[in-house]
Structure 1
């Protein structure tokens, strides 16, 4: 049982780092809510990505507002949950932080490993040739973002889940 009244954890990283599958497993292990940020994309974003076109900052703005609102809702309803969201740029993370008490878990790994995992995915609108654009815009969190916990995706799925669970337990 969580001691925290309401808290949002943002599971971030480029596409195919395992955000949704890891987030699902971590939420189940900890008995907390999971919100998949992909479900919060406006229709125009889904259509654009489905055509193989990367999103720009203007496209992402309404989506990030929905992520921020979902984190706010968790806090207001005294729920604890993980929100899956790429949050690639510091300005995106800052927008999500605005008015919220959130902690980010940053799933990261080398491009080659992420590309290999992306190629194994079925039925996702993100295409492998779009991965480079995500790495290009990724602003790796620095020391001025103390609410970000880096989590390596190297190793087995269970190892990554365990790293996340161990990182979150002291915060619950």
Structure 2
């Protein structure tokens, strides 16, 4: 989907793949607002994840609906929203009513690569112990701009923009 017809970019992937970093850069490049999906989690979800418990689909539902409302609010002018969006059911909720406005950007890395990042990360509520469950939950979208997280953030951004400009 091109930027012309899809002004909402959901940057997705497992915890620690760089969604916030890349999402911020992408929003700046596209000159649209940036939103970190983590900021919209209810306190209960944050507490549960911080305790090392994976969220259930029920836990995620209100959060996904809130992010969908946020996306709908920005559907005309565009936005970049970062959210794990691990399952196709979650992506259906996120894009409900605005499917033609949404593009997915999947940040892809190996378990070992991301585990290393999570172990080095300080001050985030999501513990590295939940990474395995995220990889097990991830359903790769059929239509997405998929990029490797191995290069620098600037190169990742360039790879994303190249794909956006081709579509």
Give SS of 1:59's match: helix
Whole-angstrom CA distance in 1 between matches of 2:136 and 2:30:
33
Alignment of 1:1-172 (within 5 A): 4=4, 7-75=7-75, 78-100=76-98, 101-142=101-142, 146=143, 148-169=144-165
Indicate how the Cα distance of structure 1 residues 151 and 44 shifts in structure 2: closer, same or farther if over 3 A, else same. Answer: same
Whole-angstrom CA distance in 2 between matches of 1:40 and 1:6:
22
Indicate how the Cα distance of structure 1 residues 28 and 69 shifts in structure 2: closer, same or farther if over 3 A, else same. Answer: same
String of CA shifts for 1:101-127, please: whole Å, max 9, x gaps.
211101111111111111121110111
**What's the offset of the Cα at 1:156?**
1.8
Structure 1 gap segments, 5+ residues each: none
**What's the offset of the Cα at 1:48?**
0.9
Whole-angstrom CA distance in 2 between matches of 1:122 and 1:166:
32
State the number of aligned residues.
Answer: 163
Larger mean CA deviation between 21-30 and 84-93 belongs to 21-30
* Contact 1:5 1:80 survives alignment (8 Å): no
TM-score w.r.t. length of structure 1: 0.88
